[in-house]
Structure 1
């Protein structure tokens, strides 16, 4: 899926049966960078694209069993790619969010 400000595509190494990445076209490092510097139009477009993808792959809670959104940032977030990307994971239980410390 492509919009004016975003791209969405299936992950090449899926972690769940449904695993889609949504990325803004602009040069954003992580979510807070995007939230603080993107235009309102870009922010709305990213949010709506996530909703459309969830609907299209059948994971929305009203049409499926739900999903998890993940966006890693920085060293402690284990960010491997230096560009904002949001993972949509569904089609199977995502398990606990993180281990308790």
Structure 2
């Protein structure tokens, strides 16, 4: 897989507002937020999309969901509600070929439409 903007953010060559990092996951504030809280949660392993996860990736997918719940609590959106979104493929709105999840909250979120979860 070729280098993406997310791999450059993970390696520090592009700055970001980090909110979480461990050996497998990196999370940071979206620079074009679609909600008052908009965090991107990215596996450090460069998986192109949800379609390309392998059995060896299942643990990190579960861990991403656990991190999302932890961040929702830390960012004050767990009680009021939030969305965790993955865009998969061009028709699904994915523009960066590196698996990632959008954690959105902090306001009443509208019905899902074609542009509900950023453009990444």
- TM-score if structure 1 supplies the norm length? 0.83
Shift of the alpha carbon at 1:45? 2.2
Counterpart of 1:7 (choices 26, 31, 55) is 26
Unaligned runs of 5+ in 2: 1-19, 115-120
Is contact 2:68-2:84 (8 Å) kept?
A: no
Q: Does 1:95 align with 2:110?
A: yes
Root-mean-square deviation (CA), in Å?
A: 1.7
Size of the aligned set, in residue pairs, is 95
Question: With CA pairs under 8 Å and 6+ residues apart, which has the higher RCO, 1 or 2?
Answer: 1
Unaligned runs of 5+ in 1: none
- TM-score if structure 2 supplies the norm length? 0.71
Partner of 1:70: 85
- Note the alpha carbon deviations across 1:3-26, whole angstroms, 9 max, x for none: 121001110111110000000001
